Every structure is written in C-alpha cells, then in structure tokens.
Structure 1
Amino acid sequence: MTIPNPDRHWIQIKKASYNTVATITQQLQTTRADHLTCGPRGIATWRLSSSAEIEVLNDEQLTIHGQTIHAEVNHLPAHVYRALVQASPAFTQYPEVDHLYQQIRDGKPDWDTAQFTRSLEEIAQGGRRPDQVPRLVSTPRTYSATWHPQEFFLRVNKAGDWFAALTFTASFQRLSRSIAPVTVGLDLGLNPLTVAYTSLGESHTFSPTDLSHLDQVAGSRLTPAAQKILRHLTYASGREDAEKIIGWLNHHASRVFAERLSHRAMNTNFIQQARNLAIHDHHFSALSQYLYTSRIPFRRVASYSTSQLCACCFEKEGLEVKGELGFTTFTCPRCKTVRCRHENAAHNVMLRGLNLPPRCKKSQAG
C-alpha cells in the first residue's frame, strides 16, 4: 500500500539497540529504499515489510516482531505524537504526569521544589500503566494525523548511527486568517526562540517559558526513572513553546523564509537540555513539515552574517554595511539605526528570501 503525500518523521534510535536493529534488517523481510532522500543523511535505508509487527510500548520503546527498540518516540510534533499514542493499544505511561507538566509550566511564585521532587519520585516509583490518552501534548485544534505502521523505515549513516522513520498522513484545517497575510522572515534561536519580521515592517518575538525553577530539581539526586520523566516534561514544554510559532504563522503568513541551519554552526546548548532539544527539532524539521501541511510556502536562505549586516541599508540602498553587535542590540555605523539584533537578522532573512534589492556591495564599513 502506498500512502499519498506521506508525512515521515525520523527519530534517532538509542545506541543500546543498534545491534538489534542491524539484526532486524538482516533477518526480517526488508527492501532497500535508498531512493528515500528525506530525513537524516544515510548510507543505506530499509523498508520493512508491510506485514511487520510493530508496537509502540511507551515514550521510549517500541517492538518490531517482538524485538525491543529504544527510541524516544515522544520527540515528535504534537499532532503526530497524539496519533501514534491513540493508535497503540499496548501503550503505557506514568499516571498523573500531566499534572506535573502543568506545574512546571505554571512555575513561580507558588513553586515548591521539595514537593515537586517528591511527587516526581512517587510517580516514577508507581511505574507505567496502560493509557492511550496523550498526556504531554495539548490537543491540536488545526492539525490532525493518522499513523501508518505498515510504512516503517530504518536508516544507518556513515558513523553507524541508526534512525527510524514513522509514516503519517497529516491534515490541516484553518480556524482563522489575517485579512492581509504577509511575507515573514524568521531568525531562529533559543532565547528568543524566534523573531519574526514581516513585509509590513513589523516584528514579533517568541520567548521560551521560564523553567529556571527546575534547576534545583535537576541538581538533586533523582532516580533514573525520575530523571527520564523530568526530561520528557522539559522536552514537552520546549515543544509547546515552539509550536506557538506555527500557530502565529498559520494566521499571519502568506509565505515564510528561515535561515538554512547546520549542526556545526548550532550552539551546543541546543542539544544539552531536553527543552532546547525540542526547539532544535522544531527549527530543523518540524517547522518545515508543519508549514508543508498547512500549505504555506516555505524556503530556507543563506544564514551568513544575518545578524551583522544592516538590513535597513540593504533594503533601501542595496548596501552591505557591517554593524556593531551588543548583547541584544545591533547598531549601524552608517544609518545610525539601533534595533534588536534578532529583528535585524529576521529582516535580512526576509530580504534574502525575496531577493530584494539586487545585491551590490558598495559599502563595507559605512
């Protein structure tokens, strides 16, 4: 069976399962699918037979013909994660985990670190129970999805790392729309998560939810199970923050441009914390997949010097003028513009997407 317009989401498999996955590709009926170019780069890709028995057991485990594979399937966009959980009869999760999630999102001033830590350990000690209600995602109002376990792919890269692709069909139903949708350029980061600059000359900043109250919890002696739950909670919070950007774009944007990202250029903080990893996953893959589903044209542009060059001089006169960067500000020595450095970068991203104006390097220093 071929799924029309499939929405494939790749997740990295844990190293402890690499040997198991390699064995599966050798023993089960698989087909080489090296023509499948979406997702992480690899040297070989296999498609499992449509008769392969795949079950998702929890946020960290699935089975293929009874063989357990460790992978964080909760690292998926909200709508496809919901579809996965609801279509998995064997799915188990920790009860009351959604209440903990609401506590960390609410945070201060009523935060009680000791009480939260006790509740976290009690839930971890109680273990998982059968539950097909997605607990760590809000109910999407505009996106929906259906999981197709018969289209399941495995891929290995040069370094020997393994990935799995889960296939969905996704749909979008628009609830509201700006009277005059605009072109938008995005500067992607951690804090702020994103600054959007529009063709009307307006900017909008998306900031993360403050989770600093969790620092003491993370620094305490948690059991391994409690540590995993805490990582899932903070990842879910980062995902929810990032997906607010999608909601804004669906209402306001007619087309979107963003920087072409590379893992080498990204700050290591992007992958050191679960919240930041969620933002990383959004910037690299979920953003484009969401906009594809909602049929908003999206393209990435060159990211060089977007923060350092004055967008005002470039837009008005086609000049590439290097400015001075403060912690949060950009100052142009030529036109004397002082503005948020992230707004300036988003403005440059939009201009590059529109190819306006024709580039001419008349000035480098102003």
Structure 2
Amino acid sequence: MITTHNHRINVDDKQVIQTLITSGQLVATNERVSGLTGQVYAPTPGLAAQLRPLDHGSLAIGGHRLAVELHRLPEAELVALLDHPHAVDFTQHRVAHLLPLLLRKRNFADRQTFVNGIVEALRVGPQRGVSPLVDDIWSGSTWLPDASRIVDNNGLPFLMTAFEVPLSRPDDDGAPRCAAGIDVGLSPVVTVATASGYVDCGGSVHPVTRAEHDAICRAATALGIDEDVVQQLLLLLIYAAARALIETVMLWLQHSASVVYVERIDYTTFKSDFAERGRELAVNDFLSSWIAQRMHACQITVYRVDPENTSQICSRCHLPGDRDGPVFACEECGRSVDAHANAARVILSSGMTTALKRYRRRK
C-alpha cells in the first residue's frame, strides 16, 4: 500500500522552489494531494534522483537544501527513509539508546545517565549510520522519491513524501475483534476503550525536567553549542518517545479492532509549553494522518467523533460530571474514575450511537 505524509517546508525556502519551477525541474500537475489544497508540482526524473534526506530537518533537492520537518513520520516510514540508498549523507546525534529513559519515571541515576548521554552526543556531533529514533525493528517499507511532490498550499510550501508500506489486515486467529474508542492527550498519550470493556491507558512520556534541561544547556554552552541545537535535539527525542507509544497502540488496533472512533480535534486550541511540544506534534500527526492510513491498510474503518463534552460526560449514566486533572467524578453515579478512560468510553459510545443512526437512516 502507498502511504503519503505532508511536511511543512520553511517559508524562507520558497525562492528555492520557485527556482526549480522556473528551471523546469518541478512541473505543475493536476494531481491532488491528500490533506492539502493548492498547486501540486512533480519532480522530473532527474530531480527525483537527486532527492536525499540530510538530517531530520533538511532535504537536498537539485543542488539546494530545503528546511523541512522530515522527522514527523511513523516509525516504519522513518526507517524506510533512512534505509533508502539516497540517504547515504543522513546524519543524526547518537541518542536512540536514551529513548527508554523518557518512557519511565527517572530516578537520580537515570537523570544522570540521560544528561550525560545528551551531552556526549552533542560533544561528538551528528554522525552517519546512527540507529534511527525508533523502538522497534521495521522492514519491507520503501521510500518513493519519484512520487514525492511539492505543494503550494495557499502560499505555504509543503513536501509530500510517499512510501510503499506492506501492511494488510492480519489473518484472523479466532480472536474476537471489537469497536474501539480513543482519547488522546499528553499524559497518557493515547487511551483506548473497547466495546468488550477493555481499557488501556497506554503510557506517558516523561519530559525533560527543568534541572536536566539546565544541566544540558550549561554543558552545551561550555562546548560552544547553541541552545537552539539542544532544544531541537530534545524535541526530536520527546517526539520519538511519543511516537513509540502511539505505534504500540496502532499495532494493537491493527490486530484487535473492527472499527475505530477518534475525536475531531481543533489544534488551534491545543496548546503546550516546550516540554510538551514534541508530544503535541506526535499526537497531532497520529490523529490527522497516521491512524487513518494504517487502519485503512488493515481494512479497519476510522470515524471522527464530535469532541464536544467528551471530557465532561459520564460514560456510565451520560450525564455531566466534573473533570479535575486525571480524575473524572460523577455526582449522579458517585463514580470517581480515570478521566482518560472515561473520555475514551464516551468517544466510543458517541461514535457507535452515531453509526447506528446512520445505519437506520439508510434502512
């Protein structure tokens, strides 16, 4: 199956794109790109052969360098990008071994290991042939540079990357499948509730603490490294940790779900500080693109549910309650439950009710 992902290109590189259009290396087409509107440009075979990722934030194209968010890919596609023959110049910091430390509460020894690991990676600098920022081994996927496209989306440039990902619904082993509702957030990143009563609050990314951040920045300053480099590296790690949790949920859904209900989220109101930014971006990408494509490859339907009041309604009696941080309390039922599990159940119930109404109307 072909999957596609859209990456924002830095607006400062619009002139590079215009140069490639003027020279005929980017050709206007009537194609449409999922998730974007605007003029689509296809690379000539010669230009496609020159496309190569340089690092998580840049792509070489026709002798130019585009600043583009290449890191915002699911694990399978990221591995395919880095394994492609065009990626021989790809460099990154050696920090993949630190990912597990962001997925658990860190004790004093963990914090020291994390800080020292980041500082050592900064001291050595980006390297070639470094392990990708994933927690699982993926194979069989292929990046398709000739299918890449540049899109002028209302004056904002985007890169669309395409991948062949050999995903299909696994053969049923007799295990029952059921509808699943998903609540997304920052801690935990994803919570799943199913019609069978199963609930999994997934896991949480434990962000870099202020003390860890300050210690890393002090060491970076002593090494003559700009703080922006530190911020970007930490963001990449936090994003990768959230992506690892999301991939675990998607694999479970692939094997166990019959239909999936998720919220329609307005990310203009989804805010966070820097420490949470990597998780926010991963959750955004998961909801807007990843889950729809992965579930489609497995012949599992995804429905978007109106998010209004999903955090404020009791999943048992369907009356308003009070959410206070991680706890939801319902005076009517006298319940006090995990707020994320309650929201996932509400999303599931709302989605199934809407689906039933649609079915009855068709009848």
1:8 Cα deviation from its structure 2 partner: 0.6
Distance 1:307 1:228, change over 3 A: closer
Aligned to 2:79: 82
Does 2:246 match 1:242? yes
Using the alignment, how far apart are the partners of 1:226 and 1:342 within structure 2? 32
Q: Structure 2 residue aligned with 1:326, among 306, 324, 327?
A: 324
Indicate the residue corresponding to 2:56 in structure 1. 59
1:107 CA drift (Å): 6.2
- Deviation at residue 191 of structure 1 after TM alignment: 1.3
1:50 is the counterpart of 2:45: yes
Indicate the residue corresponding to 1:287 in structure 2. Answer: 291
In 2, the alpha carbon distance for the partners of 1:247 and 1:113 equals 30
| Match status 1:211 vs 2:207 | yes
1:287-326 residue pairs with structure 2 within 5 A? 287-314=291-318, 321-326=319-324
2:258 paired residue among 254, 257, 263: 254
**Do the aligned partners of 1:177 and 1:250 also contact (CA within 8 Å) in 2?**
no
Q: 1:341 to 1:120 in 2, by over 3 A?
A: closer
Q: State the match for 2:134 in structure 1.
A: 137
The answer (yes or no) to whether the contact 2:59–2:65 under 8 Å persists in 1 is yes
Per-residue deviation at 1:202? 3.0
Q: 8 Å contact 2:76–2:141 — kept in the other structure?
A: yes
Structure 2 distance, partners of 1:356, 1:129, is 51
Rounded Cα–Cα distance in structure 1 between residues aligned with 2:105 and 2:323: 33
The aligned counterpart of 2:126 is: 128
Partner of 1:311: helix, strand, or coil?
Answer: coil
Work out whether 1:109 is the aligned partner of 2:74.
no
Instruction: Say if 1:278 and 1:73 are closer, same or farther in 2 by CA, change over 3 A.
Output: same
Distance in 2, Cα, partners of 1:357 & 1:16: 45
- Counterpart in the other structure of 2:339: 341
Question: In the alignment, which residue of structure 1 is the partner of 2:20?
Answer: 24
* 2:232 matches 1:228: yes
| Structure 1 pair 281–356 and aligned structure 2 pair: CA distance change class (3 A) | closer
Q: Displacement, 1:138?
A: 2.7
Alpha-carbon RMSD across the aligned residues, in angstroms, is 2.9
- Partners of 1:236 and 1:250 lie apart in 2 by 20
Identity of aligned residues (%): 23
Contact 1:177 1:252 in 2 (8 A): no
**Which range moved further: 24-33 or 343-352?**
24-33
Q: What amino acid does structure 1 have at the position aligned with 2:61?
A: I
Change over 3 Å in CA distance of 1:170–1:270 after alignment to 2: farther
Conserved 8 A contact 1:94-1:124: no
| Residues 322/119 of structure 1: CA separation in 2 closer, same or farther (3 Å cut) | closer
- Which AA in structure 1 matches 2:346? N
Q: Deviations over 1:105-129 (max 9, x none)?
A: 5662253656644543443343333
1:170 aligned residue: 165
Q: Distance in 2 between matches of 1:218 and 1:22?
A: 40
* Equivalent residue number for residue 361 of structure 2: none
Change (3 A) 1:117 1:343: closer
Deviation at 1:66, TM superposition (A): 1.2
Instruction: Give the Å deviation of 1:86.
Output: 0.5
For 1:122 and 1:263, locate their aligned partners in 2 and report how far apart those are by CA, in whole Å.
36
Residues in 2 aligned to 1:356 and 1:226: alpha-carbon distance in whole angstroms: 46
Distance, in Å, in 2 between the alignment partners of 1:268 and 1:194 is 16
Is 1:13 the counterpart of 2:13? The answer is no
The amino acid that maps onto 1:168 is F
Question: 1:192 is matched by which residue type in structure 2?
Answer: P
Q: How many residues align?
A: 344
TM-score normalized by the length of structure 2: 0.83
Whole-angstrom distance in 1 between the partners of 2:332 and 2:252: 34
Where does the alignment leave 5 or more consecutive residues of structure 1 unmatched? 315-320, 360-366
- CA shift at 1:176, angstroms? 8.2
Q: Structure 1 residue 98 and structure 2 residue 93: aligned? A: no
Task: Considering fraction of residues, name the structure with more helix.
Answer: 2
Bigger mean CA deviation after superposition, 274-283 or 334-343? 334-343
TM-superposed CA distance for 1:305, in Å, is 1.1
Following the alignment from structure 1 to structure 2, what is the Cα–Cα distance between the partners of residues 227 and 326? 31
1:258 Cα shift?
A: 0.5
User: Which amino acid in structure 1 is aligned with residue 72 of structure 2?
Assistant: H
